Amino acid sequence: MLTAAMHNVPFDQLEIGMEAARTRTLQAEDLFVFANSSGNVNPMHLPDEDGDGDGKPEAVAPGMWVASLISAVLGCDLPGPGTLYHSQTLRFLRQANAGDTLTVKVRLTAKAPDRLVSFDTWIETAAGERVLEGEAQVYAPEKPMSFAPEDLPGLTLQRHVHFDRLLSMAEPLPPIPTAVVAPEKPDALAGAILAAQHTLIHPILIGHAERIAEAAEEEGIDLAPYRIVDVRDHRLAAQEAVRMVLAREAAALMKGHLHTDILLSEVVKRDGGLRKGGRRLSHVFVMDVPGLDHLLMVTDAAINISPDLKVKADIVQNAIDLAHALGMAEPKVGVLSAVEVINPAIPSTLDAAALSKMAERGQITGGLVDGPLAMDNAINIGAAATKGIRSLVAGRAEILVAPNMESGNMLAKELTFLAHAEAGGVVMGAKCPIILTSRADDDQARLASCAVAALYADHVAGGAS
């Protein structure tokens, strides 16, 4: 965003031969912004698309985007604020692509009545090659003026580059055999099949065979490549899925169209369940928040309603274990409360302080844990500095631990529906990852959940957990 004051050169102060220049590096985000603002969605100009069928994205800058850089020099530098276009000619000499650094130059060549002035205009690469050239005629400002665009609104792109990275990490792995419980509705079945098409999972469909077939017909899905286990009761289907994991026929569970508590009640059974060394189950949302330069994990927002300190320790450890599988060597864990100071009247601040000390003493391992932290100073360095908080976690948290399920659920949904985050998630603490999807999830969220499960299963299989 521009913040420095700009000053113009009025018509009567302009002299033939005056020059001005600006340099700009073309970012992939610029191409998305231009596509949205102009409506030009030619795939040749989109960073992630192959527009000509040669097997790789072109990310060619639209000619009008390149030309618009000329208007920035004329409108901001010479003549500057108050300038209006009359005409512009353009001759395109070569392409510009995402990553190119472009220098825009203008030179005053003529002055005419009615404050009409002419400029030679050209744009060149860092190597000095001209991208375009032409002539601009503009109406120069009559009076001196300054302008400081301090209130110019910023833009946040709804890109999900972190989920794209997870998918690129997971897709080369062998698909994990996944027991999909009761995929008896189109959305539940389609999510599993989509993940199979991306080679994330190999689904074993457990449920009412006729209903699964009806869902497949509605979605136009060919079930021939997939094993179907006909179990016509949801609890029995969950039991069969757990048995498959114990027998190593499956390496993950995926919830279909059944109540979560039915599935998890079979998972946590003391005899024949999937408990892992007494560890408490917890849910972890893995979130790709536009504008944030790293993945954000939120826990627990789906299982433990009012966790005590012991349960919170398991929640934190589960999240750290998952973070390792996603490539975070030493994840930063912010334990949230309403305030960042210990207050005996607010029990969550006491739990947060205890969890921090437990991490220092090795009772929680693999991550940096700090709390209590309020939401602002957990994720914003400026807010942490204002409060005088000195911490390796404050302002940089990658895992947010909520005080209870209500606050965690609200936080995750606020990020999803207000900040346009994508959210995938899994249940941790069992002998295998458990993929919980919602009917509100879009394709990207479903794929992300399966990618997270695949990466964790591979992490465990490699002996790293």
Q: Give the sheet arrangement for strand 252-255, strand by strand.
A: 227-230, 201-207, 176-181, 252-255, 434-435, 422-428, 282-288, 296-299, 399-401, 332-336, 368-373
- Note the pLDDT tens digit of each residue in 100-126: 999 999 999 999 999 999 999 999 999
Residue 22: pLDDT above 90? yes
Q: Where are the domains of the chain?
A: 6-147, 159-275, 279-429
- Note the pLDDT tens digit of each residue in 161-180: 788 888 889 989 999 999 99
- Note the pLDDT tens digit of each residue in 257-294: 999 899 999 999 988 889 888 889 999 999 999 888 89
Q: How many CB atoms lie within 10 A of CB 384?
A: 24
CB 300 within 8 A of CB 402: yes
Q: Which residues contact 123 (CB under 8 A, 6 or more apart)?
A: 66, 69, 70, 96, 102, 103, 104, 105, 130, 131, 132, 133
Query: What gap in Å lies between CA 85 and CA 128, rounded to an integer?
Result: 27
- Note the pLDDT tens digit of each residue in 75-86: 999 999 999 999
- Note the pLDDT tens digit of each residue in 177-225: 999 999 999 988 999 999 999 999 999 999 999 999 999 999 999 999 9
pLDDT mean across residues, the chain: 91
Query: What gap in Å lies between CA 438 and CA 449, rounded to an integer?
Result: 11
For domain 159-275, the CATH superfamily is Isopropylmalate Dehydrogenase (3.40.718.10)
Supply the pLDDT for residue 46. 85
Query: What gap in Å lies between CA 51 and CA 47, rounded to an integer?
Result: 10
Residue 440: pLDDT above 80? no
318 or 390, which is more confident: 318
Query: What gap in Å lies between CA 328 and CA 317, rounded to an integer?
Result: 14
Average pLDDT score over residue span 347-362:
96
DSSP assignment of 341-381 equals: S--TTSHHHHHHHHHHHHHHTTSS-SSEEEEEE-HHHHH-H
Query: Looking up tokens 């249940």, which residue turns up?
Result: 427
φ, ψ dihedrals at 137, nearest 5°: -120, 130
Domains 6-147 and 279-429 share a fold: no
Supply the pLDDT for residue 2. 47
Average pLDDT score over residue span 420-442:
86
Residue 299: strand pairing partners:
284, 401
Reported confidence tier of residue 158, pLDDT bands at 50, 70, 90: low
Q: Which residues contact 20 (CB under 8 A, 6 or more apart)?
A: 73, 77, 78, 105, 106
Supply the pLDDT for residue 156. 67
DSSP assignment of 76-132 equals: HTSS-TT-EEEEE--EE-S--BTT-EEEEEEEEEEEETTTEEEEEEEEEETTS-EEE
Residue 154: pLDDT above 90? no
Query: What gap in Å lies between CA 78 and CA 129, rounded to an integer?
Result: 23
Query: What gap in Å lies between CA 13 and CA 333, rounded to an integer?
Result: 59
- Note the pLDDT tens digit of each residue in 398-423: 999 999 999 999 999 999 999 888 89
- CATH tag for 6-147 (out of 3.60.40.10, 3.40.1180.10, 3.40.50.300, 3.10.129.10): 3.10.129.10
CB 130 within 8 A of CB 122: yes
Supply the pLDDT for residue 277. 80
For domain 279-429, the CATH superfamily is Isopropylmalate Dehydrogenase (3.40.718.10)
Residue 385 identity (one-letter amino acid): A
Average pLDDT score over residue span 445-458:
91
Q: Which residues contact 59 (CB under 8 A, 6 or more apart)?
A: 28, 31, 45, 46, 47, 97, 98, 99
Cα 445 to chain centroid distance, Å, stands at 10
Residue 226: pLDDT above 50? yes
Average pLDDT score over residue span 339-368:
96
Residue 1: pLDDT above 50? no
- Kindly report the length of the chain: 465
Q: In this prediction, what percent of the chain has a pLDDT beyond 90?
A: 73
Tell me the angle at which helices 63-76 and 28-38 cross, rounded to the nearest 10 degrees. Answer: 90
Reported confidence tier of residue 157, pLDDT bands at 50, 70, 90: low
